[in-house]
Amino acid sequence: MALEKAGTDLKPIGFVRTEAGHPEPSGTWQARSEIVIDEDLSKATEGLGDFSHIVVLYWLHRSHRSRLSLRVHPRGRQENPLVGLFATRSPNRPNPVGIMVVRLLECRRNVLVVEGLDAFDGTPVIDIKPYIPHSDCVKDARVPSWITNHRNLEGKLEDIYRRLSAHYGPQNWWPADGPFEMMVGAILTQSAAWRNVEKAIAKLRESHLLSPGALRRLEQDEIAALIRPCGYYNAKALKLAALAKWLGETWKDDLRGLFSLDARELREKLLSVYGIGDETADSIILYAAEKPVFVIDAYTRRIIDRLGMTPRARDYGAYQALFMDNLPSNSQLFQEYHALLVRLAKEVCQRRPRCDGCCLKGVCSYRKEPDCQG
């Protein structure tokens, strides 16, 4: 047990039980989870249900104390100033204790149902205290600007998501029959409209070729002929052939095994395959492997730029960090968010934006630009 190894007499009083829920507009940032307290301690929860909020102390059992650094850039972002570890909430600390104030929804003897706890399933909980506003809430607290900026970004991204989600509803993207079809779609959609990708996938499906083994049996020009509707068909045939070959030779077509890698390792492996770049790799990781990485495409960059949120370094990683550093790490949320941005870009935030009909016009600075139709 991690706590015992720490050489303390700390013992968990319970564990977090959680599973990722569907990112409803009003629920994503307030995900529910349960704190299951040790049966022997269940009497200690008596009276807790009279409080609306509780303070949860928990052990960040997935932190990396081997990566301990006494001065860090908060949230790992180089643009944040280098500050002492204790001036941050970095999980990699000598005693990786997490602390959060969360809403207590229900107190069922030894099970506390809470909202907003940012902790993995199985996280050991080391203490619970009631939140008492007149002693816990400090009205004139001062924080450095890197925190205010971060809170602003978090709030802005959440606001954008809520507006998009309320306007367009659930997108349930990516439309595909299984992970391999998603991988194929992620390659075919490079520089192509989705309706043309659908035609190419339909042809592959009709010919029973939506498996790595079936693709390997084809000559490249045969694949090219089938995927012609999606453009750049010779180049894409080469990429599909490379993917099918790699899956066979390296993974024996075991996608489940491939997708059991963690996101970072999976990304490295995918990027080593001919024809798979950042965006394609991340699409596969997010939609086929269902791991939380944010996909950055031209649509996303365009909208972020117009909203006035362009990151200082304008590269793929900086746009991705904008989302991943400021949103809860949730693959369903990332899927929905990305799909909503694509929808907005296709329908209104086009090359020449139609701002009048845009659900983001209240938070967008671009619509004042002269080129805008709104």
> Considering just the CA atoms, what is the radius of gyration of the chain in Å?
24
Cβ atoms 360, 164 nearer than 8 A: yes
Give min distance, CB of 83 to ligand SF4, in A: 34
H helix runs in 17-122, sequence order: none
Cβ atoms 163, 344 nearer than 8 A: no
Give min distance, CB of 306 to ligand SF4, in A: 4
Q: What is the dihedral of CA 349, 354, 356, 357, to 10 degrees?
A: -60
Give min distance, CB of 293 to ligand SF4, in A: 23
5 versus 368: smaller Cβ distance to ligand SF4? 368
Q: How far apart are CA 24 and CA 37, in angstroms?
A: 28
Give min distance, CB of 58 to ligand SF4, in A: 39
Give min distance, CB of 348 to ligand SF4, in A: 5
47: left (phi over 0), alpha (psi -120 to 50) or beta: left
216 versus 367: smaller Cβ distance to ligand SF4? 367
245 versus 361: smaller Cβ distance to ligand SF4? 361
C-alpha distances in Å from residue 366, one per residue of 2, 354, 361:
50, 11, 9
Give min distance, CB of 322 to ligand SF4, in A: 16
State the amino acid at position 309 in one-letter form. Answer: M
230 versus 348: smaller Cβ distance to ligand SF4? 348
Give min distance, CB of 168 to ligand SF4, in A: 13
129 versus 361: smaller Cβ distance to ligand SF4? 361
Selection from 272, 329, 365 nearest residue 118 by Cα: 329
Cβ atoms 299, 341 nearer than 8 A: yes
Give min distance, CB of 350 to ligand SF4, in A: 8
Q: How far apart are CA 258 and CA 135, in angstroms?
A: 51
Residue with tokens 């959060």: 100
Quick one: CA dihedral 23, 25, 26, 29, positive or negative?
Answer: positive
Backbone angles phi, psi at 271, to 5 degrees: -65, -15
Distance from the Cα of residue 364 to its chain's centroid: 23
Q: Which residues bind ligand SF4 (CB under 6 A)?
A: 303, 306, 348-349, 353, 355, 358, 360-361, 364, 366-367, 372, 374
236 versus 306: smaller Cβ distance to ligand SF4? 306
46 versus 347: smaller Cβ distance to ligand SF4? 347
Give min distance, CB of 78 to ligand SF4, in A: 28
Q: How many other β-carbons are positioned within 10 Å of the β-carbon of residue 18?
A: 19
Q: How far apart are CA 46 and CA 60, in angstroms?
A: 26
Selection from 252, 99, 280 nearest residue 191 by Cα: 280
228 versus 361: smaller Cβ distance to ligand SF4? 361
266 versus 303: smaller Cβ distance to ligand SF4? 303
